[in-house]
Amino acid sequence: MKNIWAIARRQYENYFVSPIAYAVLTIFLLVMGYFFYNILRLIVENSMMEAMQSQQFGGLPPGVDVPSQVARNFFGILSTILLFMLPMITMGLFAEEKKQGTLELLMTSPLTSVQIVLGKFLAALAFFVSMLLPTLLYFEIMQVYSQPHFPWGPVFNSFFGILLLGGALLALGSFISSLTENQIIASVSTFGVFLILWVLDISSRSGESKLGEVLGYLSVLNHFEDFSKGIFDTTHLIFYLSFMAFSLLLTLRSLESLRWRQ
């Protein structure tokens, strides 16, 4: 474990050596802040309009759970934004090491391939968590104006789902990065694969055939929907963990093929 944490810390610090990390964090928080503000504004305006219409007809104003609706819409958009942002996190995990020749040094060191793969994956996951944590401030601000209570349970459940979704995509991006020594190729290829997964999700909703059911199960976005609704299902947990394990196993096999060629 000591070697894994050493690799993870080294890789995490490397993120902040280049301006890419700061650009990713800044763009991500600005974009998500923009969406959060507009989602909150639209839902509040709609609830106020419905309340005014009810009063005009002498009825009681409808009970609208604004925080839950905001959280569900926010995390729905967040799950899509990740398809564009995460390739920039994984593109240099192995590709840049190959280009600079430092990966060969790692492979010939006492470190095992498993330690290298897990260390780099944990670093990418830690950076992803660093992206997500500031978004909690959006909900903290909304809590101040929420009455009588704020539904933190569904929010944290959604955050957990996003963490699983991001972990699965990061593991897949790590594998793609291990296949090339060019960061741009790794980034574009990863985004292309993510886009295919997004199309699979759309295709699975277009019909109720057996093929649609299979595509729905293979869709990484589809498994996140219950989390965004505040529902915790171990089926989705097992899917994401299996997806991560399989992707990391492919990454491990890709690295071991380099050892054989040396």
Closest CA to 169 of 78, 71, 70, 235: 78
Helix (H, G, I), strand (E, B) or coil at 205: helix
% residues pLDDT > 70 (the chain): 84
Q: Environment class of residue 107 by beta-carbon count within 10 Å: exposed (0-12), middle (13-18) or buried (19+)?
A: middle
Q: Percent helix, strand and coil across the chain, each rounded to 5?
A: 80, 0, 20
Q: Is the pLDDT of residue 61 over 70?
A: no
Q: What DSSP designation does 93 have? A: S
Residue 53: what pLDDT?
64
Q: Is the pLDDT of residue 241 over 90?
A: yes
Mean of per-residue pLDDT scores for the chain = 82
Q: Is the pLDDT of residue 242 over 70?
A: yes
The model's pTM: 0.87
CA atoms within 13 A on the CB side of 56: 6
The model's confidence at residue 34, banded by pLDDT at 50, 70 and 90, is very high
Question: What is d(CA 87, CA 176) in angstroms, rounded to the nearest whole number?
Answer: 10
Q: Is the pLDDT of residue 63 over 60?
A: no
